[in-house]
Structures are given as structure tokens and as C-alpha cells.
């Protein structure tokens, strides 16, 4: 793999250890020598990483550019976080807190301001409480999806988490604090947060909810508390470091099944959108339904380098038709889960079959089918090693199920994710343009030099909003030389995220520049059309709120009041940005 920095700005000159030169506002502030030593005294020497090569590796990103941090620090407790904040105020060090730093495509663990100290909370990783009766838990920021799911399976198997199709070792709270979304009826992750403990930029520990610290019995059951509701100001912001929070869980339902469906005729997309909105408003569709285009499936099922395209980086219509046929992929495919009593699930299956079968194939997967498919797949894959058997198997699957082996493999992964069991399977899409083979475990597209930027606009769930917007985006992707990748995630019955990945080869400077230019082009279109992203990354904060100066000014006032030294993630969402 070539190093990430090959295509980035040259690395900044690193200040000597213990001597940080940083700039907040117009005045550069220099922290005296010994800062790093002080940090080591707080968290222990093993938990500060300041050697430039190690910092460089940990600071890798999938987006085109990054700002190089000064060091990474890994506190082990809230008290240590408070001491770090105090030190930062004393020495004017800029802090960049994150939980696990795996929000690839939005900037990973890298800060908005060069030279910041990245505070990774992954060691603060306890599940502090699980309440089965009320179906919630209180967790720390280092708790990952993988760990949380395993913990509940072992100790409270009747409770399910909601995960994303992103990295299993990503933080549950990190995602919720960015207002990320998952897959089940609890997929609005911030919507399921109830009760936060926060270390403020001035070092005090507070709890939201308006009750006594550690004494409010509804802290994790009643979101709004007494008085102003403050939890929102600690999300997508830079006003505090969240050190624990309550999170609502899903009690294991009496019945569960997942389903996938296909839409053979792309021209019927508007009809599909109307169907979804109607079903969601009626409460028949209860979950974070995903609807993806063919390019998304190609990125999951294969890699460009394996498709004999002779170095070509763009799939033509002919290539797309060939890949659709090879992998039995429709122009659009979707999937979701159904949860409830046996009667509820039976009823919903009936309605969904009625409503969706007219667009194409719809397949449900329950536990029995899941076990059958996962037992048969390894045998089928082994048999396919023989070329004659492969032909026969592929033909049979095509005729009987309208599926490929690759597509069959994806179905059980979907079944898992929709019950909160995370998998790395879908993260591998980031390697579509990579020269290395997709890894099977411990996936880290940032370290592996993959190029991926997320563009995450959210729209009203109407044909009039969606269709012209998607046409525009597709046209812009193609004008910049990229295939259009869009995954539509239903946020609620009224709005939908049209999540788009710009996948690029970061070893090609021209491609990297085009990726950056396409992103800027898409963001500027939003601004002119009354639209925004549901979640943003470091790549676009300088561009935010041009059209909303009042909103930015209010946030800057809050920032100045809560963080007088502007030490906490200045510039995040453009708030407290160094001038």
C-alpha cells in the first residue's frame, strides 16, 4: 500500500515533543515544554502516542485530505478526561475528542485544526448498567457495537442493540453523538439516547436532565427532564466530552424476519417512493429501510480490479449491464426487518408482499431459512471450485432464485445486522477501488489507504423532492468521472437520507482532486436548494452555514460562553472556527 500522505499536503513540521505551537483565532498560542510529559503523568506513558510515525498511522483517513494531530491520548476514566481538559486550558492545547475514531468517510480521528491533541475515549468502555425491565443501558463512549452486542448476548439475551452496517468496532455513543442512524426501529441513534454525563470544556462534570448528579431516577427513561432540554447541544458540536449516556434498547421480539426486495424497472422508482411513504406513515414500515442502487451492491460483492476492466476506473453502461447479469443485481434493491408478535409479523409480511412483489422479487428470511442458507453456502462455494459444477450451480440459482452465490451470501449478513449483530461484511465496500484484496477481518480502510468520502443529504420523502435531486447528483457524479453510488436510508416517515459515497483511488492525484471537486460541487448545490446533510465531516465544515449566519452566530455565542479558551474541537461544524 502506498502511504496516505503521498497524495496529501506535505506533513506539517512536527513541533518537538512537549512543545505545541497552536493557533486559536489570530493569536498563536504556544504551550510550554513538558505538556506531553504532563499528559503522560495523567494517563500513564503507555497511553500517549506522540511518535510522528505512530501519529501518522493513527491519523489516516479515507477522505482526500487530513490535518495532522500532534499526538493521541487515551484516558482511562472521566477523572482523567477532566484533568486533560484542565491541562488544555492551562496550556491552550486544542483537544479533539472522539470515542473510537472510526467514522471513516467523515474524517476518522483527525481534527479540524492541525496540531490538536486527539483524545480517544476507547479505554473508557464499561457497560455500567442494564435495566431489562425498562429496556435501557448506561454505557461509556468506548463501548463498541461488537462489545455491546456480545455483552448483552451473554448477560441479557432478551435485549437487542441497534448497530450500523459500518465498523463493528465503532463506538455506540460516538455514532449517536453524530446523530448517525442504524437499521431497526431504534435506528435513530440520538433519538434513543436518554441522559448524558458530560465534561464541559472548562472541566466540570454535569448531567443532563435537570436532576441531581447520580440521583435522578428518570434520568434514563424520560428524555426531556425538567427545564431546557440540553442534550442536543452536545451532538454534532464541540461543547463537551460525553463520558456516559443512557441508551434505549429493543426487547427481543416474539417474532422477527428480514426481507430483501428488488425493483427490476428503474422507471418505477417514483411509484416505489410513494409506496414507502404511505406504508411508513401508516406504520406498516417501522424501520430504517435501506434502498440501494446497483453500484452499491457491486462495491459490496466485488472489486473493480477483479472485473477485467483493463485499468478503467469508471463502469460504462455496458459494464453495469454485465455486472448486473453476473451477480444477478437489479437496478434498485432494498431490505429491512419486521419485528413484533407472530401475528404482527405475519400481517406485515402479507402487506409487504402485496405492495412490493409488483416491483420485483421479495424474499423473507426467518431463523429456519437463515440456518439453511448459512449451512449450505460453504458447501456450494466448495463445489464451485470445479468449473463445470460452478456453471451448473450458477445457472440453477439464476433460474430458481434469480440470485447469484454472492447475493445469497449477503442475505444472512443482512439478517444479522437487522437484529443488532454487527458485521464487517458491508464495510468492505470501501475497498472497491483498492488494489489490495478486501480483508476478511480487522477491516481498516483508512489505514489501508482506501479513498471514500460520504455525502449525506437528507430530503423530504416525496417524489418531487427526490427524483430531480437524484438525477442531478447522478449527472454530477458522472460529469466528474465517478459512478453514482446511492443508498437511501429512511430516517422517518417524512424524510430520507440519500447517502452517497465517492469512492476513489487515492494513488491517482487526478482522481483525488476530482473526488474533492465533486464533493464541493454537491455541497454547494445543497446550499442553493434549501437542503442540507444530516451529518457532515471535517471535509465540509468550512463550507457550512453560509446561508445561516444567525444560526452560526448563536452557536458561536454558546461556544464562547461554555469554552472561553476555545480549546475543544474549534471549527467543528464551523463553530468556534479559528479565523
Q: Which residues bind to ligand ADP, rule: CB under 6 A? A: 97-103, 121, 141, 170-171, 173-175, 177-178, 241-242, 569, 572
Q: How near is the Cβ of 157 to ligand ADP at its closest, in Å?
A: 24
* Closer to ligand ADP by Cβ: residue 178 or 465: 178
Q: How near is the Cβ of 572 to ligand ADP at its closest, in Å?
A: 6
* Closer to ligand ADP by Cβ: residue 99 or 258: 99
The sign of the CA dihedral 172, 297, 514, 533 is negative
Half-sphere exposure of residue 446: CA atoms within 13 angstroms, side-chain side = 21
User: What HEC string does 81-133 produce?
Assistant: HHHHHHHHHHHCCCEEEECCCCCCCCCCCCCCCCCCEEEECCCCCCEEEEECC
* Closer to ligand ADP by Cβ: residue 203 or 340: 203
Note whether 39 and 88 are within 8 A (CB).
no
* Closer to ligand ADP by Cβ: residue 170 or 335: 170
* Closer to ligand ADP by Cβ: residue 99 or 404: 99
* Closer to ligand ADP by Cβ: residue 100 or 147: 100
C-alpha–C-alpha distance, residues 319 and 49, integer Å: 46
* Closer to ligand ADP by Cβ: residue 177 or 291: 177
* Closer to ligand ADP by Cβ: residue 137 or 333: 137
Q: How near is the Cβ of 97 to ligand ADP at its closest, in Å?
A: 5
Note whether 245 and 195 are within 8 A (CB).
yes
CA-to-CA dists, residue 46 to 16, 56, 59, 79, angstroms: 19, 17, 18, 18
Note whether 86 and 98 are within 8 A (CB).
no
Q: How near is the Cβ of 404 to ligand ADP at its closest, in Å?
A: 31
Half-sphere exposure of residue 317: CA atoms within 13 angstroms, side-chain side = 0
* Closer to ligand ADP by Cβ: residue 234 or 415: 234
Q: Which residue is nearest to ligand ADP (CB)?
A: 174
Q: How near is the Cβ of 293 to ligand ADP at its closest, in Å?
A: 24
Q: How near is the Cβ of 425 to ligand ADP at its closest, in Å?
A: 17
Q: How near is the Cβ of 416 to ligand ADP at its closest, in Å?
A: 19
Q: How near is the Cβ of 123 to ligand ADP at its closest, in Å?
A: 12
* Residues whose CB is less than 8 angstroms from the CB of residue 457 and which lie 6 or more positions away in sequence, other chains included: 469, 497, 498, 500, 522, 526, 531, 532, 533, 534
User: What are the φ/ψ torsions at residue 139 (nearest 5 degrees)?
Assistant: -130, 165
* Cell matching residue 239: 461543547
Q: How near is the Cβ of 74 to ligand ADP at its closest, in Å?
A: 12
C-alpha–C-alpha distance, residues 411 and 355, integer Å: 21
35-57 burial: b if 16+ Cβ within 10 Å, else e: bbebbbebbeeebbbbeeeebbe
* Cell matching residue 302: 466485488
Amino acid at each position: 500500500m502506498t502511504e496516505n500522505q503521498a497524495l496529501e499536503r506535505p506533513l506539517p513540521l512536527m513541533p518537538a515533543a512537549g512543545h505545541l505551537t497552536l493557533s486559536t483565532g489570530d493569536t498563536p498560542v504556544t504551550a510550554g515544554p513538558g505538556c506531553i510529559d504532563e499528559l503522560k503523568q495523567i494517563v500513564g506513558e503507555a497511553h500517549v502516542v506522540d511518535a510522528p510515525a505512530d501519529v501518522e498511522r493513527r491519523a489516516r483517513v479515507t477522505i482526500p485530505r487530513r490535518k495532522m494531530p500532534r499526538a493521541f491520548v487515551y484516558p482511562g476514566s472521566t477523572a482523567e478526561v477532566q484533568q486533560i481538559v484542565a491541562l488544555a486550558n492551562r496550556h491552550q492545547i486544542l483537544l479533539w475528542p472522539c470515542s473510537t475514531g472510526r467514522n471513516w468517510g467523515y474524517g476518522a480521528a483527525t481534527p479540524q485544526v492541525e496540531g490538536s491533541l486527539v483524545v480517544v475515549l476507547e479505554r473508557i468502555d464499561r457497560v455500567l448498567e442494564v435495566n431489562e425491565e425498562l429496556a435501557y443501558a448506561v454505557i461509556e463512549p468506548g463501548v463498541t457495537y461488537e462489545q455491546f452486542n456480545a455483552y448483552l448476548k451473554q448477560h441479557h439475551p432478551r435485549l437487542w442493540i441497534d448497530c450500523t452496517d459500518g465498523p463493528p468496532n465503532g463506538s455506540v455513543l460516538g455514532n449517536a453523538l453524530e446523530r448517525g442512524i442504524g437499521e431497526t426501529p431504534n435506528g435513530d441513534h440520538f433519538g434513543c439516547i436518554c441522559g448524558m454525563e458530560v465534561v464541559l470544556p472548562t472541566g466540570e462534570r454535569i448531567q443532563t436532565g435537570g436532576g441531581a448528579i447520580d440521583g435522578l431516577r428518570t434520568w434514563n427513561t424520560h428524555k426531556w427532564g425538567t427545564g431546557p432540554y440540553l442534550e442536543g447541544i452536545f451532538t454534532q458540536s464541540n461543547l463537551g466530552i460525553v463520558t456516559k449516556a443512557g441508551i434505549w434498547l429493543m426487547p427481543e421480539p416474539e417474532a422477527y424476519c428480514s426481507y430483501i426486495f428488488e425493483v427490476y424497472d428503474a422507471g418505477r422508482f417514483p411509484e416505489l417512493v410513494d409506496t414507502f411513504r404511505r406504508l411508513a406513515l401508516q406504520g406498516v414500515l417501522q424501520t430504517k429501510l435501506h434502498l440501494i442502487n446497483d453500484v452499491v451492491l457491486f462495491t459490496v460483492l466485488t472489486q473493480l480490479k477483479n472485473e477485467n476492466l483493463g485499468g478503467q476506473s469508471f463502469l460504462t453502461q455496458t459494464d453495469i449491464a454485465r455486472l448486473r447479469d453476473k451477480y444477478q443485481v437489479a437496478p434498485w434493491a432494498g431490505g429491512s426487518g419486521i419485528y413484533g408478535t407472530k401475528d404482527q409479523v405475519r400481517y406485515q409480511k402479507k402487506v409487504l408482499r402485496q405492495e412490493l412483489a409488483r416491483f420485483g422479487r421479495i424474499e423473507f428470511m426467518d431463523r429456519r431459512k437463515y440456518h439453511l442458507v448459512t449451512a449450505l453456502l460453504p458447501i456450494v462455494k466448495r463445489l464451485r471450485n470445479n468449473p463445470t459444477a460452478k456453471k451448473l450451480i450458477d445457472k440453477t440459482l439464476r433460474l430458481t432464485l434469480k440470485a447469484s452465490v454472492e447475493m445469497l451470501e449477503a442475505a444472512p449478513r443482512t439478517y444479522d445486522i437487522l437484529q443488532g449483530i454487527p458485521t464487517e461484511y458491508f464495510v468492505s465496500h470501501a475497498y472497491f477501488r483498492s488494489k489490495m484484496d478486501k480483508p476478511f477481518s480487522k477491516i481498516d480502510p483508512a489505514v489501508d489507504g482506501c479513498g471514500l468520502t460520504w455525502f449525506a443529504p437528507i430530503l423530504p420523502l416525496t417524489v418531487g423532492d427526490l427524483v430531480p435531486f437524484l438525477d442531478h447528483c447522478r449527472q454530477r457524479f458522472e460529469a466528474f468521472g465517478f459512478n453514482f453510488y446511492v443508498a437511501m436510508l429512511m430516517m422517518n416517515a417524512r424524510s430520507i437520507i440519500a447517502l452517497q459515497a465517492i469512492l476513489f483511488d487515492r494513488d491517482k492525484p487526478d482522481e483525488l482532486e476530482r473526488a474533492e471537486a465533486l464533493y464541493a460541487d454537491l455541497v454547494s448545490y445543497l446550499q442553493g436548494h434549501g437542503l442540507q446533510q444530516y451529518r457532515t465531516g471535517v471535509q465540509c465544515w468550512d463550507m457550512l452555514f453560509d446561508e445561516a449566519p444567525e444560526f452560526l452566530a448563536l452557536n458561536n455565542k454558546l461556544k464562547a460562553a461554555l469554552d472561553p479558551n476555545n480549546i475543544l474541537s474549534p471549527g467543528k461544524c464551523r463553530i468556534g472556527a479559528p479565523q
